[in-house]
Structure 1
């Protein structure tokens, strides 16, 4: 049995508790109680979230043995003074457990406890610079969903913690169980740790349903040649109208937007490491592996081989 301990403090982000559903449904999918989840705090009793919801907790030290400690964050970690007793507990818990996890801005607690020194880590993009200043000996990578560096796991903001929890399930129980859990939770896709915190669709930020529909059409047909006429037809607009509206709403040409969608899909396939680069290039609409490499280096500053090696290191 894997014992998961959630360490909560007053004003914790309530989204941290959402990750418990991943372990709950891992038990359902596995058809046995693989995970035991408990909530802890320094003194026990009721702990209030940033939304005012309270959670009953056990006091640490009161049978608080866990294989993995999930450390919650707060909305603004730069305004919180972390008590010394909390840091002592986190440091001790890390020595006695298999994993210590900083959920979103929970990475600040790990950093203050000295657990990030010499390691790679991430947090919510809005506080990445502040975490780097707090932990000058760490390598804070602001554009990752989650990062695994030895026994230390850290995630980006909010929903990225769900991806991290799925990564834990995959590590413990295998990819089939993790994928089944994601399907039960109706997650649109399983995001690997190396993916960007901001998706291409989110960055484009279309304002109308018509442009959104055109982008969805493009994402579903990446392996095929996609013309502006095809996108205009999906949006029920003339090509001229579509081009004007698309540029006004996204700030990009349709060709550039499609390239970004293709690149994001290719990065995901490269990081998962299940297909040769020739297959990935073909499935995501690039001419060949050379074209894929050219665009990846130009836009992301990294080669496909380096991206795959980094993803394997995170795994």
Structure 2
């Protein structure tokens, strides 16, 4: 049975340590989200008969073992202190959160991260945890990302890092960095797939009721996440765009939906959302097309028309601008309905 998953269980026989560093006032999902992915991988591998013991040994690290207060007031228990650990760290993950600003000033912490990162097989920052990893100097000359709100700050603070603000996660050598909060789960799924293959990653995604891992090149900021305007007229136009990507979404048409003149609408939309109507529309159409590519077997031409692009070539150019991939390749690599994905995974299992 092991061979049917495409990866031999002898890929690594002994459990590997995944250690997630959580400073005080870390973002709780930066900690629990990625660890749950690795924990689900452990369960999946044992249930499928690929292992008799867990593949990953999971630890939360902190300055000292014991309770660590998260930025929402809840506490998690660190199972190990950073110093004095016995087993080597295979994968070092660094959580972000509001506590990162203060933690950056802790020279001993930064020195420990640098030492641990140099000896680990792979190192990943989650969200604003990138600032702690960047402070070690190990990201200088490398590509990285963080939460979209903090990318400009990361670029200013660390000009030697090539910050990629429009990515779910970025890999440069053994160093990984992810966008905001739940993007850490996308990154963790990617790491599991590296170790155990796509079929296992699919099963883990299904068990967590997640979409199959988003590509690292996919934008972490979409119109669905954009802060709504304070003006009801602009909110009405936003909802119309998201609900009807195939419609006429020109400025005059949207101004009519909002009950404003085209000139006033364009100005108000930019002031309230920070982007132009045209850019918002294009991203909304890309999001709609992406979901249809992932969740249906509809023809590319049909999706292009249904999402307002008209010609497939226009959709292809938009995908290249925003996702650096063409629609056909996107579908082939990241797509299909949950049932189809389950059928493929079951065939491999």
Taking structure 1 as the reference length, what is the TM-score of the superposition? 0.73
Partner of 1:59: 81
Alignment of 1:4 with 2:27, yes or no, is no
CA distance in 2, matches of 1:264, 1:13: 27
- SS of equivalent to 1:117: coil
Query: Greater RCO between the two (CA within 8 Å, min separation 6)?
Result: 2
Kept after mapping to 1: 8 A contact 2:237/2:258: no
Partner of 2:41: 26
Structure 1: give runs of 5+ residues left out of the alignment: 220-225, 229-238
Q: Answer with 282-291 or 251-260: which moved more.
A: 251-260
Kept after mapping to 2: 8 A contact 1:243/1:254: no
Alignment of 1:291 with 2:304, yes or no, is no
CA distance in 1, matches of 2:161, 2:206: 35
Kept after mapping to 2: 8 A contact 1:3/1:66: yes
Kept after mapping to 2: 8 A contact 1:16/1:103: yes
Q: Number of residue pairs matched?
A: 284
Partner of 1:111: 134
Alignment of 1:47 with 2:50, yes or no, is no
Partner of 1:233: none
- Counting only pairs closer than 5 Å after superposition, residues 292-307 of structure 1 correspond to structure 2 as 292-296=315-319, 300=322, 304=325
Measure how far apart 1:190 and its partner are. Answer: 2.9
Alignment of 1:122 with 2:145, yes or no, is yes
RMSD across aligned C-alpha pairs, in angstroms?
3.9
- Counting only pairs closer than 5 Å after superposition, residues 109-258 of structure 1 correspond to structure 2 as 109-188=132-211, 190-203=213-226, 205=228, 226-227=246-247, 243-244=257-258
Kept after mapping to 2: 8 A contact 1:163/1:191: yes
Taking structure 2 as the reference length, what is the TM-score of the superposition? 0.67
- SS of equivalent to 1:154: strand
Measure how far apart 1:144 and its partner are. Answer: 1.3
Distance 1:284-1:182 versus aligned 2 partners, 3 A rule: farther
CA distance in 2, matches of 1:89, 1:120: 22
CA distance in 2, matches of 1:55, 1:146: 27
Measure how far apart 1:114 and its partner are. Answer: 0.7
CA distance in 2, matches of 1:107, 1:255: 32
Structure 2: give runs of 5+ residues left out of the alignment: 1-14, 271-275, 334-349
